[in-house]
Structures are given as C-alpha cells and as structure tokens.
A and B are shown apart, each in its own frame.
Chain A
Amino acid sequence: MSEMANTDPEGIDGVRMTWNVWPRTKVEASKCVIPLAASISVIRHHPDIPTLPYTPLRCKTCSAILNSFSRVDFTAKIWICPFCFLRNHFPPHYSLISETNLPAELYPQYTTVQYTLSDPNVNPNNPMNAAPAPSASPVFLFVLDTCMIEEEFGFVKLALKRAIGLLPDNALVGFVSFGTQARVHELGFSDMSKVYVFRGSKEISKDQIMEQLGIGVSGRRAPTGYQQKGMQNGFPNTGVARFLLPASECEYTLNSLLDELQTDQWPVAPGNRASRCTGVALSVAAGLLGACLPGTGARIIALVGGPCTEGLGTIVSKDLSDPVRSHKDLDKDAAPYFKKAVKFYDNLAKQLVSQGHVLDLFASALDQVGIAEMKVAVERTGGLVVLSESFGHSVFKDSFKHIFEDGEQSLGLCFNGMLEINCSKDIKVQGIIGPCTSMEKKGPNVADTVVGEGNTTAWKMCGLDKSTCLTVLFDLSSSERSNTPGTVNPQLYIQFLTSYQNPEGHTLLRVTTVTRRWIDSAVSSEELVQGFDQETAAVVMARITSLKMETEEGFDATRWLDRNLIRLCSKFGDYRKDDPSSFALNPCFSLFPQFMFNLRRSQFVQVFNNSPDETAYFRMLLNRENIANAAVMIQPSLISYSFNSLPQPALLDVASIAADRILLLDSYFSLVVFHGMTIAQWRNMGYQNQPEHQAFAQLLQAPQDDAQMIIRDRFPIPRMVVCDQHGSQARFLLAKLNPSATYNNAHDMAAGSDVIFTDDVSLQVFFEHLQRLAVQS
C-alpha cells in the first residue's frame, strides 16, 4: 500500500473504479462479484486542472458538457456528444475553433477542467447552483453545549475564542448556547447581553422560530426560496444584522460573552443526567440560518458535551441508571428513543439541505452524545464530525483549530456543492455512499435498485472540502443490448459535474469526464482481471457492508463478506477443483483477501467493541475519505524503525514486534508509536541524551516526525499514542495485528516477539479456509 500512496492513483480526475474495464452485460457484471463502482474526489486539488473563465457548452439534449472525448467536426463547427451522440453546433464565439486551435476543454489531457461561473443562471438545469453573490462571506453559527463540568467548559470556551480570532474579518458569526433551554444570542444588541430563550422540551417549527426571533417577515418563503433573486443586494432582512455579525465587529462581544457564559444553571437532580436540548438548539440554529441566509453557505458548528436528554432528538432518559443505548440495544430494538431521534435528525437534515447549510459536529465526552442519531444530519449536509474524549484533548483542539486555519493545510471548506452525473447509455446509477443528499432528479440513467443516496442523477453537497470523496455505485441496463451502438463504440463515458462555491465565494463548475473500455468478459477474463483495483474494491466493499449493516435488519456482515470473497476467489482464482493446495490468485487480486480479513476484524464490522456513536463516527469518515485513507482505516499500515535499516513497511502481524524496533502504526483514527522492550529501556535510561548515542536519539525521533507528517494532512487529527512493549497502551497496536502468535502457539515464537491473547483466527487460518472453500465445487 505504501507504494500506492506514493503514486497518485487518482490522477487528475480523482476517480478510482473497482473495475477499470467493464463487462458488457448485467449478468456478466454480477458474476464479477465486486460491484461496478467509482470513488470520486469531487474537488480534490490538482495542479494540472485548468480553470476556464468562460461558461461551458452543453449538449442540447442530455446537457452533458463539451469535453475532450467529444468528436469535433472542425469544418462544420459541430461536436458530437459522446453520451447521446447528438450533433451540436458550436456557438458563434467558438467559430475560430480548428484542429490547431482548441479550447482547453478539448485538450486530451484535460479530462478534468474547471469553469468559473459568473452568472448563476448559466446552468438552468441546476437549481442548486444559484449561488449567492460572490461577495458572500462565510457564515459560522456556533452552537455550544453548556451542560458540562467547569473544566471542560473552560476548554471549549478557550477553543472557541481561538477559533473566533482566526476567522476572517468578514465572516459572519452567530452564537447559540444550550442546556436545558436553547439560547440565541443577539450579538448586534449593544446595550447589554441579550439572548432569546427557547424551551428545550418543546418542538418548535421553523416559522415559529422566525416569528419569535422577530425575523419572520421575509422568512416565509418556500424552502427553495433562495433560488430567487434578491439575495444579491445584501441581506433581505434585519435578522442578519441582529444575530449574525462580521467577526471583526463582534469579536469583542463574543469574547466577553464567552467570559461570562456560565454552565447551565438549571439544577440537575442527583442521579440524573443534565438536561440538554441538543435537538431543539440545532433546530433553532437551523431556523435562524434559514430565516437569515437561506441559500448562502453557512455552517452550524455544534460543540456537544453529552447526550441530548430534553425534547426533540432525545437519545436517553435523564435517569443515570438508564445507560445510553448500545449496539445490542439497537439490535434488540431496545433503544426507545433511537428511532424518534433519527427521524428528527432526518427532518433536520432535509431542512438544512434545502437551505444549503451544513451541520458540523464536535462531540467531546466520555459517554456517547448521540452521533449515531445525528449522523444522518451531518452526513447529508456534508458536515464535519470529530469525536473525542474531552474538549481539552488534542483530537478536538487541533481539529477544531484546523478548520479555521488558512494556508496549506486548510480544509478548503466549500459550500453549496452539487454533483451531476452523465453517463453512457446502459449505465445506470444506483446511488452514492458518502456525504451528500439525493436531489431526486430522475432520468434514464437512474437504476431501479437504490443503494445509499439514489433515485437521482444529481446530488446536493451543502458542505464539501478538498478531500471529500463519494462512492458512486453503477449498474448496467438489464435489457439485452441488441441494437446499441456499443459494438461501434467500445468505450463508455461518465461525466461528473460538480458545481460549488469556494471559500472565496466564487462559484465553480468542475467537469470530469472519464472513459473506460467495455469488454466482453466471456471473451477476455484476463483483461477484466487486469482492470481490477483491489484497494478500491476493498473500500467499496467496506462501505457497502457498513451501509447494509445500518439499513438491513439482521444483516450478517461477516458471512456476507466471506461469501463474496469465496465467490470472487472461485471466479478469478487458478485452481483445480477440490484441491486447496492448487489455489493461486492473480497478483491483481492477491491483496484483496487480506483486506477482507482485516475488514472482518475492523471496527466497521465488529461493532460490539464500540459504542454506536463510535461506529457512526468511524463510518462517516470511512465514507468521506479517499481510497487511500479509507484503506488505512480497514487495514492499518505498519512501519518499522530499527538501527539496521531504513524505515520500512512491516507486516501487520504480531511477528513484526521486536525488542529492538520501533513500530509506527497508522490506523487512521490513531497513530501508535510502539517501542520495543529494549528500545524502551534505553530510552528510559536516557541514552538519547548522550552525544555518543545520537543515532539512538534519531531513531527515537524518526517515527515521531513521520507521525507528525501524517497528522498534518489529516482531519480529524488522529489520536496519538506513544507506548512501550508490554505497556498498557500497547493494546492499541496489538488489537490491529494479525494474531499469528497467540498463547496457543506461543512456544513457536522467536524471542523478543510478542503474543496476542486472543482466540481470533489468524490470517493464515483464514487463508486456509478460504482456499478450501474457494475450490469446492
């Protein structure tokens, strides 16, 4: 994997597919076991992507955009759309086009180009890209939980103040705090601190919120109202000036407000949880933004320190003897609040999506806070999520800071994204797994079966950033393709159109057109095999598995993965029937079983070691990260440092542990620096501080530096664990290693190594079984 990381498998397009060669028929496709899917990094930065200052040409019928795969008749000034084969005339301003004078979008290497949309009406088919005026400033509405102990509250206030200091001067800032009740702070009121208090226990509609905040008049429009013009000339109502102020104007107010802000003053009965109305606070925040700035990119940044126990979105009763629901409770349907809360957040998600606003969730608590329920709202709006144990923990602190920082590492937060997919006939889109929402735009390319956000060829991404990645699942038309032009056209085309508003407020449209080859798998299995991307396939399988676990009742993930793996091996392995020893896999597949092995052991499948909140958190990140990162989540990378050699990848196996090695494990959510016994002893004796042992100091430092490199690029910031062999923290490493050495076979192991106390099967055992089953007839 590390090899892969070094190259750029996504290229300029940011697209990776499970199969890079597509079988012709649906039947053939299903035989391939691994579904046809593409992972797209929708707005990933790439230096080679040209930005074109003009508006794109669209095909008159299918509205696909002119691209480098279009055939052009230079004399007739006509281009043929590769999707529908319609012949389009170039407009007059393209009249100078010739074979030597091509517009950038026709250059063969520019399969991805970016257009600057100056006029929102350019794309009349896209109701979502009527972006606000370019001058629009980013909007941040902070929603702060006040039910926490003083210490935590101090941390979170500090983090907030720092964040506010980092905001650009023109960013609009609003503030909502909540506990037993939700309070909207009117920052524009100069006489004294003024807050609107909403009861936590009462459901309140958006209209009521607007009316009660006194910003009702212009808020009456339909949810899609922001399509209308009129937003350009400033904000339509006074709510903006009262509740949302430019950072430069309200920084002082906010700071003093935070200084005086107290933890929730409502009494908490002994043996009870604090009363916390997270749901109402979020819906009030959504209502406020909806009234003030519909259609403008805005983020609700929720900082939550515990479970919602009051009103809408409650996830657990106040009684502390009632534990927060576990996976077991969910399985047994013993979580009385769960469905209702999910329904509430589902509606909230709909509202936010229609307003074009994002919900970011920063949860810091030892217990669960309800991410499992809130997941839907965060994921559908493309929000960020960070889960940590404390607001004082670096996972929260640094991640939170990261959002507001400019520069190289900035997340490049964008708003109002919208993805459209055009594809060749016979290709159907089942849906997308990832941070987006279906816009229910039907078309000929919509598949009958739906996976994830489907039933559409257009998706809304209220919030997206440069690393946002979506998984598109394809299907093939089931009809026998008799008279299609497929025979004449061996290539298939897929075009991804992503429009969005960048942090500077400009609206951009990125057009990525990819082509792949059709092959008749019956004829050439070899080509098919060569086109397999096992890393992508593993990630896609993980995402599908997660989705199924969440949506299908009684879904047995392990069994389903095993069955698919066996089918895959049966189809693509080389073996003699019923002879396991004869089994061999093409190198293109060779890593895949190991991915599956680790996936089966991962937190995505073995959820019972985690709380539903953690699981939800892991899955959200799995779904939005690129393939390389997602693969690390499934199968961590392990690097070994020793005196004898350069840092090198090590087997993810307990056998890699040695007394004189340092191991660096990257499981994405955490980074573990693991010192072998000897190294730890040396270090404890302080050798690294002695000049003659400078090499040792360097050895100690190397994994730390590498870890920092990884951390720098990552959001959320991973948890950093530094531990020694046989130390208690070593479990973070051992849990991820292949248990090739357990107490059962400890006597076989070399000295200095380690054993894992588990009954889990090791990779070797897994393979043996796999071979046996794959070759069964």
Chain B
Amino acid sequence: MAAPVPPGAPRQQPPPPDYNPNYQQNPNSLSDNLQNLSLNRPPLMPNSAPRPSPFLPPPFPSSAPSPPLSRPGPPPPGAFPRPSLPPSGSPPPTLPPNGGPARPTGPPFSQPSPFVSRPPSAGNGVVMGPSSGAPSHGSLAPRLGAHPSPIASSTTPSSVPPSVSTGGLVSNGPPAPPFLGGPRFPPSGSAPQQPLMGPLTIGGARVPPQAPSMRPLMGSSGISAQQRPPFSAAHQGTPSSSAPLQGMPSFSAPPQAMSPPVGFPFGQQMQNQPVAPTPIPGSAQPPTMFGMPPPPPLPNQTTAISPVVGQTGGSLAGSSKIDPNQIPRPVPGSSVILHDTRQGNQANPPPPATSDYIVRDTGNCSPRYMRCTINQIPCTVDLLTTSGMQLALLVQPLALPHPSEEPIQLVDFGESGPVRCSRCKGYINPFMKFIDQGRRFICNLCGFTDETPRDYHCNLGPDGRRRDADERPELCRGTVEFVATKEYMVRDPMPAVYFFLIDVSMNAIQTGATAAACSSINQVIADLPEGPRTMVGIATFDSTIHFYNLKRALQQPLMLIVPDILDVYTPLQTDVIVPLSECRQHLEVLLESIPSMFQNSRTAESAFGAAIKAVFLAMKSTGGKLLVFQSVLPSVGIGALSAREAEGRSNISAGEKEAHKLLQPADKTLKELAIEFAEFQVCVDVFITTQTYVDIASISVIPKTTGGQVYYYYPFSALSDPAKLYNDLRWNVTRPQGFEAVMRVRCSQGIQVQQYHGNFCKRIPTDVDLPGIDCDKTIMVTLKHDDKLQDGTECAFQCALLYTTVYGQRRIRVTTLSLPCTNNLSNLFRMADLDTQFVCFLKQAANEIPSTPPLNLREQVTNFCINILLSYRKFCATVSSSGQLILPEALKLLPLYTLALIKSTGLRIDGRVDDRSFWITYVSSVSTPSAIPLVHPRMIAIHDLDTQEGNESLIPHSIPLSSDHVSDDGIFLLENGQEGLMYIGSSVDSNILQQLFGISSVDEIRTQQYDNPLSKKLNDVTNEIRRRRCSYLRLKLCKKGDPSGLSFFSCLIEDKVPTGGLSYVEFLVHVHRQIQMKMSS
C-alpha cells in the first residue's frame, strides 16, 4: 500500500475502516446501540443539562446537604431498545432538522457518526444544533411509544419487553435536542457563544434558560465579555451574578424575565442579570432570604473582577444576610454551543464539559478527548503554586463525539509508519514547525530539529505552512488516527474475546442474579461484533469453577469443573473460547439452562479470585474482556475475603479509628493477580449484583488495574435490576472500545507528566497499559514544571494511544493540544476550567479516601477551595471590598461543588463501606461530564411536566438542590447519572398520581407507563436522561417519612445536615471567614 499512497495521505474512504468498526457499516448502528441501551451519551449532555433547568428557583437556605448518591439505584426496567435501528430510521423523517439521524443515535453514536458523515444531519440546516430541538417533538412521539418503561422505575421487567416490541423507538434514542440551538445561536465561533447567550438572556426572555444559567459554566464569562466591557483583568466579570440566575420559574421563558425582586445582591455588576427573579415555580416560595449570620460576610464585590458571590446579603437588606437566591448555582445553557478549537491561531478555551457542544477541530483536539485544568499554562511553577490551582489534563482518548462532528480521520503512512520526532518520538501534529523549505521540522514537544522524510517533503507556502497542510489531517487536526505498522505490534492484533463468568452460588441463584445475568448475556450476544474474530467463552463458579466446552461438534455443551481453587488451571487448551459464529446455539442453550441447572445448589461459597484466575489462564494466549457477575463476598480459594465490615463493626474502638482501612484492599493477592492479567491483556469488568457486603474495596482492584469497571447493583432486585444490568452490559460491549492499548502523554519542554490516574496498569513510568479502553474511561494526567516556559509561546500536550479495534486493526490515536503560556495570574483565573479543575480534585480526593481519615480529607477539600479563592482575593481582586467574598467568575461554582464533594458518598462516614468503595472506584475512571452530576445531581420537577411547554428541551430545567424547592404536592426526579430518585410528596394531587402511576394514593406506588401525556412525558424525560448519560438510570421511588425519603433528602446538598454538614449559605460564610482570617494573618 505504501507505494501508491503517499505517506501521510489521509484515507479517503468514508467508511473506511476506520475507527470504530463498531459503527462501520451503518452509521446508525452505533446509534442504534445506544438507543437500545437507553443510554444517553454524556457528551451531549453538557449543554443539555443546562438547558433544562434554566431556572433555578430561588435559593433556599437549606439544610440538609447530602451528596449525590453515587450508587446505582434500582431501576427501571428498561427500555431495551433493541429496535433502535428502526427507530432511528424513522425518526429522521420526523425530525426535521438535524436531529433526525443524529439524534436517535445521538449520543452514543455520535461517535460513529463522526466518521460517517453524520454531518448530514447537520445538514439539516441547523448547524449547530443538529440535535437540537426542533425535532424533539416529532421525535418524541415515536419514542414514547417505545419505551414506556423507562419511566416507571418500579415497573416490572415485564414492561420492558413491551417496549422492545414496540420497537420502535426507543426513547432513548433520539433525544430531542435541547433547544434548537442552532438557529438560535448563530454559529458563531465557539468562544463567542457564550457571549451570545448573554445577550440573549438579557434581551429576550426567549432563551430563558440558558442565559441565566450560563454563568456557571460558560456563560458568565462569556457574557461578561461581550456585553460589558471587560472588566478588569478578570474579564468576565459577571459578577456573582451567577447566583441570580436562577430564579426563574420553571417555565422557561420567564426566567429571565424575572423581575428582580428581591435581592440582587450583586447589585452592580449584575447588570446582566439582575438576577432573577423570585418567582419560583411552584415549590418554593419566593426566596426567602436567608439571613446571614454574621454581617457582611459576602459583600458583593463590585469590582469588576469577579463576581462575588453575592453577597447578596449585603446589598440586600444590608442585613447581612445572604439571599439564597443569589448565590451561584449552575445554570444550564440550553443550546448547543459551536466550538472551534483554535481561532486566529489561538487556542480557544473550551465550553464547559457538561454543556452541549459541537466541536470543529481546527488544530487543537476536541476538549472531549483532552482538556486541561487551565487553558493557559503558567510559565513558572511559582505562579502555579500561587494560584492554588493545579495543572492537570483529563484525557478521554476514545470519547464519544457529537454526532454532528467531523469524524476522526485515519491516516495511513504505509510501511514506514507515522512521521515522528526522532528524539522524543512525538507524533507529527499541526504544531510541528517546518523550516528550511520543508526539509526539516522542529518538534513542538522536545524542540529537536528533525529531517523531513523524503517522501513526506512538501514546500512551504508564504505563510510558512506547508502547502499541503490543509489536506493532511495530521497537519491540521488536533486528533487523528494512524494505521499502526508491524513495528507497533508485538504479535498479531488480538481477536475480540468476550468471556462471561457468572456466579452461581446459592445466593446468586436465589436472588435471581444468575438468571438476570444469563438473560442479559443471552440478549447481548447478538450485539457482539460480527465476524470470525469474535470469540466467546463462558464459565460459572461457586466453590468450584465450571467451564463449558462449546465446540460445535458436541451435541450439547460439556461442563468442565476445576475443583482446585487454591491452585487453578484451565481445563482445556482450546474449545473453552470459541468463535461466536460457531457456538451461538450452544450458548443459548447453555445460558437458558444455567439458572435451572444450579437451582438446587446449596453451595454458599464463592471462589471469585480462583475463578477469574482460571479464566485468565484460559484467555492468556489472546487476552480479551472478562465480564464477571458476582453476587456474594468471595469466601474461598485464591484471594478469599472476609466480612471485614462486620468485624470492624463489632470492634468499635478499632473500627472508628481504622474505618478508612476498610476502603483499602484486604491484601495484595488480587493486586498481583490483576497485574498479571494486565500483562496478558485481559480486561476485567465486574458486575456486582448483591444484597450484602462484598468488599468492593478489594474486588475493585482487578478492574481498576486492567482498564475495566465495576458495576454495582445494590440491593439487587430481581424485579427491577435486570433491565439495568442488560443495558449496562450492552453498552459495555457495544460502546467504542479498544484492546491491548498503551498510552503515553508527551509535553513540551518545561512541563512533564507527573503521574497518571485512572484504570490501568503501569509497569514503566512513562506509559500506561490498558488491556481495555473505551469511550467512557478517562485518565487524569497530572503535570509538573521542570523548567520555566516562555511567555507568549505555546506549550503542547500530546496523547498517543496505541490500541487494537474490536475488528482487529491496530491503530494509534494521537490527540494534540497546544495552549498558550502566560505569566499573568489573573489570566490563569480567567482561563481556569472549573469542571476539569474540580474533577481533577475530585479524583485526587477519591484517591486519598482510603488512606486519610475522613475529617482530615474534608478539611483538605475545603482548603483547596479556600486557597484558590484566597489567592484570587489576594492578588486579583480589587482591594475595595474586603468584606466581600469574591469569586473568580470562572470558578464561582467551586464552593458549591466543594460542598457537594464534602457531602458526597465517598466522603461521608455514615455510609456503607461498599457504597463508598464503589464511589471511589467509579470516580477513578469517570469522565468529566459524568463526574459533575455524580457530585452535584440534577433535580427536576415532574408533576408539572405537562405545563412546561415552551421549554424546548425534553428535560425540564433543574431545580436547586435544596429542600426549600421540594414541595409536598410535587413529584421530583433527582438523578446523578447512575440512579434516579423519584420523590413523591405526601400531598400530591391524586390525579397526577393516577396519571403517572395509575394509583390514587402515595401508598401504592409502582411505576409503569400509562397512556396519557404526562406519563409519556415522564418516560421521555427519563429516557432522555439515560441516553445522554450513556447510563441506564436506576429509578427508585422515595416517599416522605420512610428511609427512601431520607435518602432523597440526603442528596439535597444545599441543605444543612443535622449531623454537622453546613448548608450552602453557611458554607459560603465559612469560606469567607477563612479567607478573611488568612488575609489578615
């Protein structure tokens, strides 16, 4: 091939091979998958989130803070969208705008689409928001039909089927786009967008939602910039305004309109938003003002600099109270943002990770793949230290793109392989500078001057760029994929091997976990990649390990038992793992018979460690994915664990002190095992379907080291969990992913990688080994200075991921990000990326939990927040208002997130050990868009879905997480991406109950879809959330007065917690005091 194709020539073929094979054939296929899953893809989310909840109701002072629930909840039956395809097809028509195709698939596929040319959808006219709204309605309809179930959380599984059959559309699928963003916003450049928002908001009520919201994320800064003259250095200045936003009534339009009733604490700056309005939708009363205790804690800062939190109080009554309505809250942008990664040869700061955006790769990589905590790089380590912020990258190399984005291009350099710097081995990228008529080039990473390979030579144009730069993706795109040559292979690319390992101990059988696992696997078999290279194996275990010989020649599967669980082995060299095409029938028969075969088993023991080891031995020659379904504490064999939790409880004195030890792995056995797995490219995912303690702290070491993931279904319910299990499993095998991967991040001179965090195995300091990598996995890369950088230059980061696709192609995905360096502290604050910054901190905190007593850790967390604000106050804020709490616009939500983190599952002491362990594990690989809701969930009102017309997003606007906003006559859904809590007030209109749940009183709750608009709408909302999150929400119903109600209220993090957790307002006061103390000292 080399000959004909000039090196470096991009591959043209559209479908080519590329990328994820998953999608190859049918662009929609991906989408299909998603739909089915009912997962939503997160990427979109960003925006979406915002949109819905434009209005934050007035703030309330609330008391009970509680972290979001991280664990998965019980859930809903899901809609299994198998049918997805069809739907997608049809939808298009319906959805006029872009939405059509894209949507359906929306999230998920977005990825694929890229390649494919999803664009079409875009073509529809709406540039930006392909997905956006217009279609929404249309699309909705179909969807509705499809899944009824989603909504009903409680619904029984049965419901599911129906949905499927309908086929149609899965609700998940096509989400309605939020707003029609497209139209609305002119596609201006990326950055600009925000500004747009600003104006909009201001101007018209129209866009209600976002405007207000903006602030948090993008908005504010943007706005400020545009509208106002830049304020001081800080630029955005929108003051604290942020806080204000919220108040809108639930209805969209109004929000802005709001009258600014009461306090706008921030007076002046606020100009833009006067903050809203009081009006709160139903629930809350007009904002109550909260009194701040101490006087003026937070004065507003007038300075342009940053908004302050408002001190609403100050202005307000002057009473020294903080108006809860005025404090900063996330305000979702409702529309899709268009983002060019570079503009005018300048890196363009990315939109918030949680917003809905469409990226055009103009040199820098899309922020989906890699984003930095600060969008300008401090020249010196001192500057960084002063800021209190940290410098790190979040890398999500296979992230799902938006369907409307251009697919990543595949470049084949033929036998010679991609052009690389001969010194640092960095890959060719748009920032390599060609000199000397193109004969040589300077590496932007190490500065070395390399000879251009002869056949890659090209003359330079007048602008100093190569003449062919725009035709060669590797010279004009921040993300490209290279075809790997033999040089990058130590062996032939491995086949896609999927091995399912199922717990069949007594408990698993009796709780229905085994049956659920078998049926999920049975359904998922059809979704595995087609082709001769797809291999499958199956094994079960209790106190022994049972393999199955699936060879076609046999009349029926042969069960092979490995009884020695202290020193395991594989019972067959071949035939345990066979090509899928040869064993479908046997597999089906087997999966159907497993639950009954062990029906009478009385074996309570579970040899988890031995079983995975044995399976590993069988997979050793190829590597592959091992999916384990575990239901009880592994009690025997290799790596047996004990019920430490109970032991800890019985020994209270030791327990108290050493409680966090329970979050550490019990011993090294599993770790050693995991390292061995990783070495042979075996990636382990563990699905824990249990009703008891299983010591996730120990078990999670395996997936964590092998690039896998833990799924946790607690307490497992045979009624409602199988749907989630199926959807999770399906997404697990269908999402874009790669095998036997190696990743390395290279940085320009002056910066180096300090450490990698995430789910992988590290054998040498520079690289991470990823037996499996998929679109959901994110790796945090912390950076450190080893030299000064030059102001005005750019500093580049390049992530190279070498992996094998599920169809056996070896690829190198190279993602390059080049950011300007600065010596200006205020630039750092201005360019700080809140989401990334916070998520990095979240991951680090999670990492510390097992080794640090919780109280210390909370203090650390708080100090992190305080230090940043202190630095800002000290060096960037005007001196004037020492009495005010001043927040940098970009980071104004930091206190809220920090508070949420303190109250999160992981940092709580009163939670179950396994819940905390799971939280820690989940956080270690979670992507930025999913991390935020995990800590700071979204709450929406659903009793009035009907009346919320005018909101173009399917999902209603979110409500502040405060009990003031929860009324007894309402129904609220609170979701964190993992589970959704549906709270039903005690005095809900029975009519609504009847419509939603088919019951007349709160006492008989069950969920199901009923044929009426309200119910359908709820379904749609749920599915939309699932789709966007790429996660099947586990729905739980909560009622006031019982434990489920308590768990709901514990998620309202703005509330004060009786046991000592501060309310949001109190926390702000606390932060302010600390800053003042430090300032004065």
Report yes or no: A192 in contact with B558, Cβ–Cβ below 8 A: yes
| Set A192, A196, A211, A265: member contacting B572, Cβ < 8 A | A265
Which residues from 196 to 231 on chain A have a C-beta closer than 8 Å to any C-beta of chain B? 196-199, 202, 204, 208, 211-214
Nearest-Cβ distance from residue B506 to partner chain A, whole angstroms: 14
Q: Does A266 contact B (CB under 8 A)?
A: yes
* B178 → chain A closest CB, angstroms: 53
Question: Do B564 and A199 touch across chains, with their CB atoms under 8 A apart?
Answer: yes
Knowing A192-B557, A256-B555, A260-B555, say if A197 contacts B571 (CB, 8 Å): yes
Q: Please tell me if the beta carbons of B567 and A197 are within 8 angstroms of each other in the complex.
A: no
Q: Which of B557, B558, B564 contacts A208 (CB 8 A)?
A: B564
Pick from B569, B574, B596: contact of A265, CB under 8 Å: B574
Number of B interface residues in the complex (CB < 8 A): 25
B970-1000 residues at the A interface, CB under 8 angstroms: none
Chain A residues positioned under 8 Å from B556 (CB to CB): 192-193
Contact B559 A193 (CB under 8 A): yes
Is A191 a contact partner of B574 (Cβ separation < 8 A)?
no
Produce 1/0 per residue, B567-584, CB < 8 A to A. Answer: 101011111000000000
Q: Judging by beta carbons under 8 Å apart, are A197 and B573 in contact? A: no
B558 touches A197 (CB 8 A): no
A428 in the interface, Cβ–Cβ < 8 Å? no
Q: How far is the CA of A197 from the CA of B549 in the complex (A)?
A: 12
Per-residue 0/1 for A238-262: is the Cβ within 8 Å of any B Cβ (1 yes, 0 no)?
Answer: 0000000000000000001000100
Decide if B575 touches A198 in the complex (CB within 8 Å): no
A265-B597 contact given A183-B560, A212-B563, CB 8 Å threshold: no
The answer to the question of A181 belonging to the interface, with a C-beta cut-off of 8 Å to chain B, is yes
- A485 on interface, CB distance cutoff 8 Å: no
Interface assignment of B1050: CB less than 8 Å from any CB of chain A = no
Tell yes or no: B524 within 8 A of A by CB: no
User: In the complex, what distance in Å separates the CA atom of A183 from the CA atom of B547?
Assistant: 13
Known: A192-B556, A193-B556, A193-B559. A212 touches B569 (CB 8 A): no
Which residues of chain B come closer than 8 Å to A208, judged between CB atoms? 564
Once the chains are docked, how many angstroms separate the CA of A266 from the CA of B553? 17
> How many Å from the CB of B559 to the closest CB on chain A?
4
- Whether B574 contacts A192 by the Cβ 8 Å rule is no
Contacts of A260 in B (CB 8 A): 553-555, 558
Contact of B419 with A by CB under 8 A? no
- Residues of chain B lying within 8 A (CB to CB) of residue A186: 561
Digit string of A628-672 for contact with B (CB within 8 Å is 1, else 0)? 000000000000000000000000000000000000000000000
In-complex Cβ contact of B597 among A181, A191, A256 (8 A) = A191
Provide the residues of chain B in CB contact with A46, threshold 8 Å.
none
| A212 and B544 in contact, given A181-B569, A191-B597, A198-B564 (Cβ under 8 angstroms) | yes
Q: Chain B residues with Cβ under 8 A from A267's Cβ?
A: 573-574
Pick the residue among A191, A193, A265, A266 that contacts B593 (CB under 8 A). A191
Chain B residue nearest to A267 (CB atoms) is: B573
Provide the residues of chain A in CB contact with B571, threshold 8 Å. 181, 183, 195, 197
Q: Given the complex of chains A and B, what is the CA–CA distance between A189 and B562 in angstroms?
A: 16
With A and B bound together, what is the CA distance between A471 and B571 in angstroms? 46
In the complex, A256 Cα to B563 Cα: how many Å? Answer: 24
Contact B559 A195 (CB under 8 A): yes
A194 on the interface (CB 8 Å rule)? yes
- Count: A-B pairs, CB below 8 Å: 69
Docked pose: A81 CA to B553 CA in angstroms = 71
From B553, B554, B557, B564, A204 is in contact (CB under 8 Å) with: B564
* Cβ < 8 Å to A, chain B residues 533-554: 544, 546-547, 553-554
Q: Pick the contact of B575: A199, A204, A265 (CB < 8 A).
A: A265
Q: When each residue 1013-1028 of chain B gets 1 if its CB lies under 8 Å from chain A and 0 otherwise, what string results?
A: 0000000000000000
* CB <8 Å contact, B561 and A195: yes
- Tell me the complex Cα distance, A256–B558, Å: 12
A 162-204 to B, binary, CB cutoff 8 A, 1 in contact else 0 = 0000000000000000001101001001011111111100101
Complex Cα gap A211–B564 (Å):
9
Q: Are B564 and A192 in contact (CB under 8 A)?
A: no
Q: In the assembled complex, which residues on chain B have CB atoms less than 8 Å from the CB atom of A195? A: 558-561, 571
Inter-chain CA distance A16–B556, complex, in Å, is 59
* Contact A193–B558 (Cβ < 8 Å): yes
- B573 interface neighbour in A183, A202, A212, A266, Cβ under 8 Å: A266
Chain B residue contacts of A213, Cβ below 8 A: 563
Which residues of B lie under 8 Å from residue A194 when comparing CB positions? 546, 558-559, 561
Asked whether B569 lies within 8 Å of A199 as measured between CB atoms, the reply is yes
Give chain A residues whose Cβ lies under 8 Å from the Cβ of B558: 192-195, 260
A198 touches B563 (CB 8 A): yes
Closest to B546 in A: A194
C-beta contact mask, A448-462 vs B, less than 8 Å → 1, else 0? Answer: 000000000000000
Q: In the complex, which residues 834-862 of chain B have their Cβ closer than 8 Å to any Cβ of chain A?
A: none
By beta carbon, the residue of chain A nearest B571 is: A197
Which residues in chain B, 585-602, are within 8 Å of chain A measured between CB atoms? 593, 596-597
- Cross-chain contact B560 with A197 (CB below 8 angstroms): yes
Interchain CB contact (< 8 A) of A196 among B554, B561, B593: B561
Report, nearest first, the 4 A-B pairs whose CB atoms are least far apart.
Answer: A212-B563, A197-B571, A194-B559, A196-B561
- Show 23 residue pairs from A and B whose CB-CB distance is below 8 angstroms, ordered by the A residue: A183-B571, A191-B593, A192-B556, A192-B593, A193-B556, A193-B559, A194-B546, A194-B558, A195-B558, A195-B559, A195-B571, A196-B544, A197-B562, A197-B563, A197-B569, A198-B563, A198-B564, A199-B567, A199-B569, A204-B564, A260-B553, A260-B555, A265-B573
Where the two chains meet, the residues of A that have a C-beta atom closer than 8 Å to any C-beta of B are 180-181, 183, 186, 189, 191-199, 202, 204, 208, 211-214, 256, 260, 265-267
B residues contacting A by CB (< 8 A) are: 544, 546-547, 553-564, 567, 569, 571-575, 593, 596-597
Beyond A189-B559, A193-B556, A214-B544, 15 additional pairs, beta carbon < 8 A: A180-B573, A183-B560, A193-B557, A194-B546, A194-B559, A196-B562, A197-B561, A197-B562, A212-B544, A213-B563, A260-B555, A265-B573, A265-B574, A265-B575, A266-B572
